[in-house]
Amino acid sequence: MAKDFDVSAKASARALGFELREMQGWLCCGAVFTNVTENLITQAGPSRILGRAQAEGSTLITLCAGCYNVLRRSSQQATCNHIKQDQINAFNEERYEGGVSVLHLLEILRDKIGFEKIKKAVKAPLQGLPVGAYYGCLLLRPYREMRLDDPYRPSIMEKLLVSLGATPIDYPSRTECCGSYLGVGSLERAEPMSSSIVQSARSCGAKLLVVSCPLCKYNLEVCQSLRTSAETDFMPVVYFTQLLGLALGLDPEQLELNSQQLNAIRGCVQTVENVSQQ
């Protein structure tokens, strides 16, 4: 369901002059980092991923906020708690003792590429596009372990949006929970949480939400469908990589942008009209 995230990230990276290479032997990270100290089985998967990543290099780049949270914290735990990690390694019959730096693609864009360089590479600036950046929970918290940005007043996505020419919209709910895995089992339970985020962004002037988590995107989109059937009332949700690629001049089809998303963008941005014709 997150093919659009994968495709747009790889295409945007190539446009900026670097390659995102899929690691060999990857598997699911488990999606949740447990704080139950005696339950080590949840760390078996993340530890295997980190060990296999280490065989290819010292840095692992992630796209999904959930993967980022789980793998970053798991790598730190392996470094700080050798007794626990020895037990995990014995179960896996694979060794990982720490040392892999887990970074989010947003960190690469900010710290390795630089937003000024991205601004210079923009071919179709998103001028006039009011975008609400939605962070959710896992990119920022717990801050002592994540340290991506200020957990209360983050700005990394807003700074990226500015470099693309868009107008970031500040709204109160951008770091609140969308309902997370409640939406998988019962949309009705997650719907009030996701709907309040959409309404918060809309009331402050956003026409589009940008995210870095497939589950957040799912909840924010599907929960809207429970309340409205009118396309005009639906706020499209896209990945930051899709807006990045669009501003870099890539074809919308190459970024897996659908007609509803494109119409919302084109309704605010004149320069995007020419992107698909380049």
Give yes or no: residues 263 and 238 share one domain: yes
Please report the pLDDT score of residue 276 as a whole number. Answer: 44
Residue 37 lies in a domain: yes
Residue 226 makes CB contacts below 8 A (sequence gap 6+) with 187, 188, 191
Higher-pLDDT residue of 276, 4: 4
Nearest to 98 by CA among 73, 122, 68: 73
% the chain with pLDDT above 70: 95
Residue 14 lies in a domain: no
Residue 169 lies in a domain: yes
Please report the pLDDT score of residue 278 as a whole number. Answer: 46
Residue 46 lies in a domain: yes
Q: Which domain holds residue 177?
A: 114-277
Q: In angstroms, rounded to a whole number, what is the distance separating the alpha carbons of residues 161 and 62?
A: 20
Give yes or no: residues 261 and 135 share one domain: yes
Higher-pLDDT residue of 224, 241: 241
Count of the separate structural domains present in the chain: 2
Please report the pLDDT score of residue 235 as a whole number. Answer: 93
Q: What is the CATH number of the domain that holds 181?
A: 3.40.50.11810
Q: In angstroms, rounded to a whole number, what is the distance separating the alpha carbons of residues 248 and 250?
A: 6
Residue ranges of E strands in 57-216: 59-62, 101-104, 130-133, 167-168, 208-211
Give yes or no: residues 201 and 122 share one domain: yes
Residue 230: which pLDDT band, with cuts at 50, 70 and 90? low
Give yes or no: residues 78 and 179 share one domain: no
Q: In angstroms, rounded to a whole number, what is the distance separating the alpha carbons of residues 48 and 93?
A: 9
Residue 24: which pLDDT band, with cuts at 50, 70 and 90? confident
